[in-house]
Chains A and B, each alone.
Chain A
Amino acid sequence: MQTLDLVDALDGVEFGHGVHLDAQLAGDGDRVALVLPGAERARENSAFVAALAADHSVVLPSHPGFGRSPRPGWCSSVADLADIYLDWLERAGLTGVTLVGLQFGGWVALEIAVRKPARISRLVLVDSVGVKVGGPLDRDIVDIFATPRAELERRLYADPAFRLGDLALAAEDDVLELARNEEALATYGWEPYLHDPRLAHAIGRIAVPTTVVWGGRDGIVTPEYGRAIAARIPGARFERIEQAGHRAQVERPDEVAKVISALAA
């Protein structure tokens, strides 16, 4: 049975704790952007990486367990992921880094930001999960594991052109990556569901300038949820990108990149 060809110590990028990951590296600008992805397939972020690379050195890893990145057994929480990227920042000796968290990666970025690392100078969240803003009966984040595939895709992408559609007709590698990413998402975020109860309070500690970017047609976490996160982070700005679903950087790569580039201009 076909499986994905995972990276190893030879062809992966070492991030920390001996963890080697598949990563997209692009651009040679002085400004560095560490981009933490969600559960989209790695290739879906290519246009966004290219757009951001116009004025940034971009590093976008696949998290352990996602895409072609192996997951060591000990790495099973968002806090573990945060440790790995903090180690990488330390090893790389970088300062003034822009931390960009996309969807699930937004949760990881929040977990990093609440630790106030000196090497991060700004935070950008795009359709992030990770925070519980409502009460017990409020489904803040759509239960993607209980949603029929066609409906899930409508909620992820505003534009049907980005949807995989009938998986029977999709490329085998795409479905393998989708399945592996969903398993990783279940590993890190099954319960509590795609959030850490601590963060609702802890994100009030975030001290770097923060921009919260949201797809106006996000069907997984609504723009109102995004505004609620922004309201909890001191001084955070909220930017809505109208014609985008949950994966705004996939559907509107140039617009999202432009918001980020404008921050330090």
Chain B
Amino acid sequence: MQYWHFSECAYPDLPDPRTYDSIRVSLPNGVLDTGRAAALWDRYLREWQVADEYGLNVMVNEHHATATCMTSAAPVIAGVLARATRNARILLLGNPLANRADPVRVAEEMALVDLLSHGRLDVGFVRGVQYEVAATNSRPVRMTERLWEAVELITRAWSTHDGPFNWEGEFFHHRQVNIWPRPHQQPTPPVWVTAGSPGSTVPIADHGYRLATFLAGFEGTRKIFQAYRDRCAETGKPAPEDDRFGYAALTYTGKTDAEGMAGARKLLWYLQSNKVAKEFTFPPGYLPYQVRAAALRGPQAATPGAPATSPLPDLTAMSVEDLIEQGIVFAGSPQTVAGQIERFHRHVGGVGHLLLMGQAGHLGHQEAVDGIKRFAEDVTPLLDRVTDRVPR
């Protein structure tokens, strides 16, 4: 198994949530103190360096117009990590392609980071969460179709080396695609795509890309991974190895169970701070209209909502114990955490990559570093005995 330290790099010093309607899109950025933000970036980058020093990989994502995530341009941070880490693989999960106007620019950014890191980049592609439709002015209809057209264009841009090619698709137009520089890894860096439901795994399996799920828990993840495996079987492909599958969970490892649980409780800020106004949570077209209609008939007030990628609607109300039971959180002593992950690994039919959200909200720098080190030193050796080794 491979392990990836991940943080959304929040700006957590916010006013009372009762004073604003939405932590995303409309919370004025005047709330942010620039000195504090710069200091937070110093420590978040240092935490990724610690992960690297202790043999873990690193992962970044991006969000827009939100205090929950200061990584507003993941390629920039990935470029920093290319130089600030030495051995870690760097997973950018992901580029929100349905929100990006120019896929060729994405291909260029990723190729550049891959070179800067001497071929240590893994590239993730995601559609983009619904709150960001407003923040990026992205048309919310047919985003999945835009995502896949962009994936085709980007991977072709990486792997075409005999001069310009033409692309006049439904959504994107380029008549002279010939990116310089090209990526270090040929034909392409490893590609990951996220799925939140079994149905969306089909094109991922057909391309042989890595599949990741976020906070889908035991049952959700098992179904999604199984759909990918079933698709491979249906199409006559060999059964996929564990390294095709990644899972993201909130994770904190303490010396003792009590310390691990205390750390995990602080991570729950990530779930509980996500207060989003309804108009930004349910833009028309992002969901089938009948699903959106049902949501519009639900409670009107802005309330903390589960992150968009999880199929569990009531995450925010759950205790750490419940979340562990669901496979959303791994927490406790090293022995306990290893046991939880081993159980998860078996339940979902094998998972090769754990994406560990090891920092969120008000979890302090030293606490985050302690959790990362303890996981690397004390959990991974236990897991290596029970799971297949996945090459870096």
User: Do the beta carbons of A146 and B25 come within 8 Å of each other?
Assistant: yes
Q: Which of B137, B277, B300 contacts A168 (CB 8 A)?
A: B300
Chain B CB within 8 A of A205 CB: no
Closest to A180 in B: B289
**Closest CB-CB distance, B136 to chain A, in whole Å?**
11
Of the candidates B134, B139, B297, B299, the one whose C-beta lies within 8 Å of that of A146 is B134
Q: Write out, one digit per residue, whether chain A residues 183-219 have a CB within 8 A of any chain B CB (1) or not (0).
A: 1011100110000000000000000000000000000
Tell me if B220 is interfacial: C-beta within 8 Å of chain A. no
Binds B, one of A45-53, A110-118, A171-179, A256-264: A171-179
Tell me which of A147, A168, A186 contacts B139 (CB under 8 A).
Answer: A186
Q: Which residues of B contact A176 (CB under 8 A)?
A: 289-290, 293
**Contact check: which of A145, A150, A179, A187 meets B296 at CB < 8 Å?**
A179
Contact-size category for A:
20 to 34
* Whole-angstrom CA separation of A147 from B21 in the bound complex: 12
Contact B291 A1 (CB under 8 A): yes
Contacts of B291 in A (CB 8 A): 1
User: Would A149 and B292 count as touching, CB distance under 8 A?
Assistant: no
Cα A176 to Cα B293 in complex, Å, equals 5
Q: Is A190 touching B139 in the complex (CB atoms < 8 A)?
A: yes
**Chain B nearest CB, measured from A185 CB (Å):** 7
Return chain A residues, CB-CB under 8 Å to B289.
3, 176, 179-180, 182-183
Which A1-16 residues have a C-beta within 8 angstroms of B? Answer: 1-4
Counting contact residues on chain B (CB < 8 A from A), the size range is 20 to 34
Which residues of chain A have C-beta atoms less than 8 A from B277's C-beta? 148
Contacts of B139 in A (CB 8 A): 186, 190-191
Complex Cα gap A2–B297 (Å): 13
Choose among A4, A149, A179 the residue that contacts B278 (Cβ–Cβ < 8 A). Answer: A149
Q: Chain A residues near B296 (CB, 8 Å)?
A: 149, 167, 175, 178-179
> Which chain B residues lie closer than 8 Å to A167 at the CB level?
296-297, 300
How far does the alpha carbon of A215 sit from the alpha carbon of B151 in the complex, in Å? 47
Contact of B284 among A150, A170, A179 (CB under 8 A): A179
Complex CA distance for A46 and B66, rounded to whole angstroms: 44
The residue in chain B whose Cβ has the minimal distance to the Cβ of A1 is B290
Docked CA distance A183–B294 (Å): 14
Beyond the given A168-B297, A186-B284, A190-B141, could you list 18 further A-B residue pairs with CB under 8 A, ordered by the A residue number?
A3-B289, A145-B134, A146-B280, A148-B21, A149-B278, A149-B296, A166-B300, A168-B300, A172-B297, A176-B290, A178-B293, A179-B292, A180-B289, A180-B293, A182-B289, A183-B285, A183-B292, A186-B139
Q: Which A residues are within 8 Å of any B CB, using their own CB?
A: 1-4, 145-150, 166-168, 170, 172, 175-176, 178-180, 182-183, 185-187, 190-191
A and B contact pairs by CB, cutoff 8 A, 25 listed: A1-B294, A3-B289, A4-B290, A145-B134, A145-B279, A146-B25, A146-B26, A146-B279, A148-B21, A149-B300, A166-B300, A167-B297, A168-B300, A170-B297, A172-B293, A175-B296, A179-B290, A179-B292, A180-B293, A186-B140, A186-B141, A186-B284, A187-B141, A187-B285, A190-B140
